A and B are shown apart, each in its own frame.
Chain A
Amino acid sequence: MPTRVLTAVAVSLLLGASGALSQEGSAPVISGEGSTADHSKFKILQKEFTSGPEVTEACVSCHTEADDQVMHSIHFTWEFEHPGTGQLLGKRNVINAFCGNVAGNEPRCTSCHAGYGWDDMSQTPQQEAVTPDCLVCHDRSGEYTKTATGAGMPPLDPVKPGTKTITGAEAWPVDLSKAAQSVGMPGRENCGQCHFYGGGGDNVKHGDLSSVLFNPSRDVDVHMSPEGGNMVCSDCHVSDQHSWAGSRYDVMAADTKGPGMPHERRDVATCQSCHGTAPHPATLKGVKLNDHTDKLACQTCHIPEFARGGVATKMEWDWSTAGKMGEDGKPLSVEDYTQGDGKHRHTYLATKGDFVWEENVAPIYEWFNGQVEYTLGDETIDPSKVVEVNRISGDPGDGGSRIWPFKRLDGRQAYDAGLNRLAYSHVWGPTTDSAFWTNFDWSKAIEAGMKAAGAEYSGEYGFVDTHMSWPITHMVAPAEEALDCAECHAADGRMAGIDGVYMPGRAPFSMAGVLGLALVAATALALGIHALGRIFTGKNGDAS
């Protein structure tokens, strides 16, 4: 445990130091040793850049198709038409149980957009002529970052004091020239600066994606740990023309193909695409474990808990309590949770309401065929019940479903009480008179949010309990720390609520168990009576 804490502390120090280091003008770190191109030698990059888009312009003068590829990827469009349900998803369209919606809150949310200056969700980034951001993914020096509220723009000299980056760190003036000369294939730092901070902070949203993964210990993530595989995100999330494998909307829940033929390309992010479909050794135990692959996702046993390594995740979020002022008349904030790495986390914020944080969380389990259906803004809900913000599909009998681990956020969020629909809210807007985080007035915030999203609004709002499910697939533990059999094969084990499987050990007092015990008990009783008869009569036959 102390080593884990130390590692976490070291990681946070390193992270904090990355900005400071870059300001000292140290030599750029070139990743991808053995590459045929040293970008620091390119004349076009040896100049003073005054904006992000200028760098992109220089990039595409050689990488002529890169911008077009990026502009067709979900990282840029924030839109995804689900092939199974036809629903139009993506950040641009969905409502979640965390910060709610992008529409109306653009410059804050689009700070993590892979482009520069997308500030209106009613327009596509193409319509707004947004330029893709190459550096956020490809800068390998740690020099580059984006400001937290700048619609994707980097902090440039002079940086206004108090400006924060997308990871919540103090912003520094980015040296674009240095960043441009240091490009390489994306590392954990590149993907992580956005994906580890979803939902407004470190590990808030996913539970299995936190800043711990910048440099995890082996027990937190056996693949990504420098003591383990030292892998980066794109080792599994393989890409083709700037489009990545691995979708949370349309998950490949069961991969029965495995790695494929030698040299065959498989654009999937599944465990099986590397480990095969019978990954356990050819021992009796291994064969028995392989027998589980027709029912279980690998993740179910190999990620026994999420939010490991010292960074907690948000498990409950109640927006309805937001807006309380402290005794000083200022917005109330309470930091009542201390996570494993020693950092304090807010348990109440006037801007956001009440939270519950947890670490080392055992997931819940569901049959999952990979299809996720959202309760979109135009869908009628039943406010008397818990609303599933995203519905997990799956059935034990369909052959394509597996039992998967999930994080489930218990939420309470605004809805249109007249039309019974989830509500969009305008929360971020330091200069507007309607943003909730500035004015603490729900009726104005929801009205503005609905308007920004182009949604009809009855004028009445309320709060509804919601669930949001997040498939757990990162933070794979070393094999020796996989879930023990008895965690599930036991009465009240982890699979207690799962049907469609026969699991020995789960129901000791099943019909057959009770009948069998009764048979043994009846036999014992009969023999006992016989023995008493012999003792009472003092006779024992004479069968010698």
Chain B
Amino acid sequence: MTERFVKIYPRFERFWHWTQMALIFVLMFTGLAVTGLNGLIPFGPAVMLHIIAALALIVLWVFAIFWHITTGTWVHYVPTTKGLFKVARFYAWGIFKGEKHPYRKAYWRKHNPLQALTYLALKLVLFPAIWVTGVIYLTYNFWDSSVPNATLWLTIVANLHLLAGFAIAAFVLAHVYLLTVGGSFRAHVRPMVTGFDKVDLTPEEESYLEQDEPVRIR
């Protein structure tokens, strides 16, 4: 086993990640203003910006879903229980004893089992929850006349949207916090900027990458 820098986040994935980060930040900032918890931007402009950012994010997601399917990258998110408990135990306990992180990154499996499960939940539950409720909320005037008790349904949908938004905010907090765990913040962020991360390679993997995909390895 040797540790080498291998490109595991291609250009589109990095573009997707950072654009999504910016849009989610805009959405949280304006969303808090719309719900009355942020006075730094007036209500009207907040609504406009929220809608524009939301539509942009939906377009980005359409591209990202297409990219995951066509490149086969979706396999990174297939959940596994193998090693899951070890990782959880590390964060809850081992870290305080200076233990080594139990997961070793592979270039064909870039997330640890806990990470993969979290991202999968985010992509399959929270993100759909926020955009489905958001689209229903936004298109209220198209369905209110054909649905009985439309105002009640709108209230429910808007509250679910709000809850989903807060849940994503909680994820963002944990996500950023974990960048400080086990190594420096800079070291954790760098791969998502350069695309290259330190990965354990078998001699076979190393020689394959050097010979067949030399641009992916440093």
Chain A residues near B (Cβ < 8 Å):
284-285, 288, 291, 294, 396-397, 484-486, 489-491, 500-502, 504-508, 510-513, 515-517, 519-520, 522-524, 527, 530-531, 533-534, 537, 539-544
Shortest distance in angstroms between B64's beta carbon and chain A's nearest beta carbon? 24
Q: How many residues of B contact A (CB 8 A)?
A: 46
- Which of B36, B44, B90, B173 is in CB contact (< 8 Å) with A541? B90
Q: Is the CB of B36 within 8 A of A507?
A: yes
Q: Is the CB of B43 within 8 A of A505?
A: yes
Q: Is the CB of A504 within 8 A of B34?
A: yes
Contacts A484-B44, A523-B170; is A543 near B141 (CB within 8 Å)?
Answer: no
Closest to A500 in B: B151
Q: Is the CB of A541 within 8 A of B101?
A: yes
Residues of A within 8 A of B144 (CB): 294
- A517–B173 alpha-carbon span in the complex (Å): 13
Residues of A within 8 A of B106 (CB): none
Q: Is the CB of A543 within 8 A of B181?
A: yes
Closest to B38 in A: A508
Residues of A within 8 A of B151 (CB): 396-397, 500-502
B214 on interface, CB distance cutoff 8 Å: no
Q: Is the CB of B181 within 8 A of A523?
A: no
- A242–B54 alpha-carbon span in the complex (Å): 54
Can you sample 28 A-B contacts with CB below 8 Å? A285-B44, A288-B48, A291-B141, A294-B141, A485-B42, A489-B43, A490-B36, A491-B36, A504-B35, A504-B47, A505-B34, A506-B36, A508-B35, A508-B36, A510-B162, A513-B35, A515-B166, A516-B169, A523-B173, A527-B174, A533-B95, A539-B95, A540-B98, A541-B90, A542-B98, A543-B181, A543-B183, A544-B183
B7 on interface, CB distance cutoff 8 Å: no
Residues of A within 8 A of B198 (CB): 544
Fill in one digit per residue for B141-177: 1 if any A CB lies within 8 Å of its CB, else 0.
1001000000100110011101101110110011001
Residues of B within 8 A of A533 (CB): 95-96
Q: Is the CB of B43 within 8 A of A513?
A: no
Q: Is the CB of A512 within 8 A of B159?
A: yes
Q: Is the CB of B166 within 8 A of A519?
A: yes
Known pairs A504-B35, A541-B181; list 7 more (Cβ under 8 Å).
Answer: A485-B47, A502-B158, A519-B163, A534-B95, A540-B98, A541-B98, A542-B182
Q: Is the CB of B48 within 8 A of A523?
A: no
- A370–B49 alpha-carbon span in the complex (Å): 36
- Which of B37, B44, B165 is in CB contact (< 8 Å) with A508? B37
Q: Is the CB of B99 within 8 A of A541?
A: yes
Closest to A285 in B: B48
Fill in one digit per residue for B60-80: 1 if any A CB lies within 8 Å of its CB, else 0.
000000000000000000000
Q: Is the CB of A542 within 8 A of B100?
A: yes
Q: Is the CB of A284 within 8 A of B96?
A: no
Q: Is the CB of B163 within 8 A of A512?
A: yes
Shortest distance in angstroms between B157's beta carbon and chain A's nearest beta carbon? 9
Closest to B166 in A: A516
- A511–B156 alpha-carbon span in the complex (Å): 11
Q: Is the CB of A541 within 8 A of B94?
A: yes
Shortest distance in angstroms between B121's beta carbon and chain A's nearest beta carbon? 15
Residues of A within 8 A of B187 (CB): 544
Q: Is the CB of B44 within 8 A of A502?
A: no
Closest to B87 in A: A543
B217 on interface, CB distance cutoff 8 Å: no
B131 on interface, CB distance cutoff 8 Å: no
Residues of A within 8 A of B95 (CB): 533-534, 539-541
Residues of A within 8 A of B90 (CB): 541
